[in-house]
Amino acid sequence: MSGMDRRFVAVAAFLGLLIGIDTYFARWTPEVAEPRYERLPDQIGEWNGVDVEVSQEMLDIILHEGRASYFERLYSTDDGREVTAMVIYIDRPEALRHTPERCLTLAGWALDRLSTAEIPLSSGGVAVPANLITAVREDHRIVQLYLYVTADGYRRTALSSLVDYSSRRLTSRDQMMAHVILTTIVPAEADQIEALGVVTDFSGQYLPLLRETLIGVEQ
């Protein structure tokens, strides 16, 4: 066998190894489709949703460095409760460079609580951990939960996905993730526990439906 032939065989063997590794990981990685937020219903229980228009300038700011798409929807009930759901689909955890805490501060909100909360899901199972922020600006208070949703679960931090995939010897390649921020704004003197209950109740119904937008669907 000539030197040229040996090099050809070596390259072919190396490519075959890469294909085999890719196939191995694919077997253990959840099937993920392009995100389709239109699969989220406008009505979720007693909550009625209306899409919020976002300017192109704002979209240009939001959608960069691996961020795939963004949408925002305001959900409300007949008795006046409101929750805004903001979702940024990203194609890799490290694409996130900003957190809601920083965005709120830049918008003039004074943070008064950074904590965590548990969200019981309407679909059952264990409660989902989320980040909790409360802040005040003039005579209003914002209560906000945020977390990260993937095809195979819910996480409080984006980079924990990388740790999880690594510990389970999975690949994070092509694992679309949704960074979801759920917000209600109430008068500053309103009961914080009640306001948090409003966001938590809605989130428990919303999150399983959002996760479905990340799970692959057979054509």
| pLDDT (tens digit per residue) in 83-103 | 999 998 877 655 565 678 888
Q: What per-residue confidence (pLDDT) applies to 73? A: 93
Residues counted in the chain: 219
Query: How does the average pLDDT of the chain come out, rounded?
Result: 77
Query: Is residue 19 pLDDT above 70, yes or no?
Result: no
Whole-number Å distance between alpha carbons of 66 and 83: 27
**Residue 163: which domain range?**
31-212
Structural domain contains residue 102: yes
- Going 151 to 152 to 153 to 155, the CA torsion angle's sign is negative
Residue 89 has a pLDDT of 84
Distance CA 6, CA 14 (A): 12
Residue 3 lies in a domain: no
Strand, coil or helix: what is 23? Answer: helix
217 within domain boundaries: no
Structure confidence at residue 74 (pLDDT): 96
| Residues forming beta bridges with residue 215, ordered by sequence position | 32
| Strand segments (E) across 96-176 | 110-119, 128-137, 140-150, 153-155
Domain assignment present for residue 1? The answer is no
Top mean-pLDDT range of 25-34, 51-60, 140-149 = 140-149
Of the spans 104-108, 183-187, 212-216, which averages the highest pLDDT?
183-187
Domain count of the fold of the chain: 1
Instruction: Report the C-alpha gap between 24 and 93 in whole angstroms.
Output: 22
Is the pTM value of this prediction over 0.85?
A: no
Q: Is residue 112 part of a domain?
A: yes
In a domain, 7, yes or no: no
As a whole number of angstroms, the distance between CA 39 and CA 132 comes to: 27
Lowest-confidence pick of 39-48, 128-137, 164-173? 164-173
- Beta bridge pairs of residue 142: 135, 185
Mean pLDDT of the 212-216 span: 80
Q: Is 113 contained in some domain?
A: yes
207 pLDDT higher than 80: yes
Kindly state whether residue 49 falls inside one of the protein's structural domains.
yes
Question: What are 82's strand-pairing partners?
Answer: 76
